[in-house]
Amino acid sequence: MNLKRLEKHDRELSVRMVRSSPVGPIVIAAGSAGLTSLSMITEDDFPFFSERTADADSARLVDMALSQLDEYFSGKCKDFVISIDLSSATEFQQEVLRETARIPYGQVCTYGEVAASIGRPRAARAVGGALARNPIGIIIPCHRVVAHDGRLHGFSSPYGIRTKAVLLEHEGLLIEGDRVLLAAA
């Protein structure tokens, strides 16, 4: 999570922290326009965050995100239904993130497939760069994007591709080493 971004909008965001989840601690932030951040962090990061409520709308969005995240990890939620605010992302990043949000639960796409689906078939590396800056992990499922050969590439969380593998396995995919094999039976 970008600490400067959170500090800049300090009074405008409601923020909650989850100390324990299958992928470790999580910080969720929302403004009145939508969810702005869902970041996986470490226990060492906790001193940098403080829970706060900016207004009723943003607090409601954070509570909705927490509820849907609990349902996701318990296997009850496969599609997140929540307002998202991507106004801090570039136009290209927004395109990539919107397309990535369409990847169904339990399926993967390649960086090249995402690039082609937004009309930029030669932009696979740029797609990877945009996904590395995904401000709303899990809900915008960048963990579902893999290399052309099924390999798991970098993942912006404290535990990197290990976290990506945990999320994909949670969704029923088989992972061997650093590759997605297929959906589990």
Compute the distance between CA of residue 8 and CA of residue 182 in angstroms, rounded to an integer.
42
Query: Which residue has tokens 């500090």?
Result: 7
Contacts of 85 (CB under 8 A, 6+ apart): 30, 31, 33, 34, 35, 36
157 half-sphere exposure, CB direction, 13 A CA radius: 26
Rg (C-alpha) for the chain, rounded Å, is: 16
Considering 69, 142, 145, 180, which one is annotated as catalytic? 142
Using CA of residue 119, residue 124, residue 129, residue 131, what is the dihedral sign?
positive
142 belongs to the catalytic site: yes
> Would you name the residues annotated as active-site residues?
142
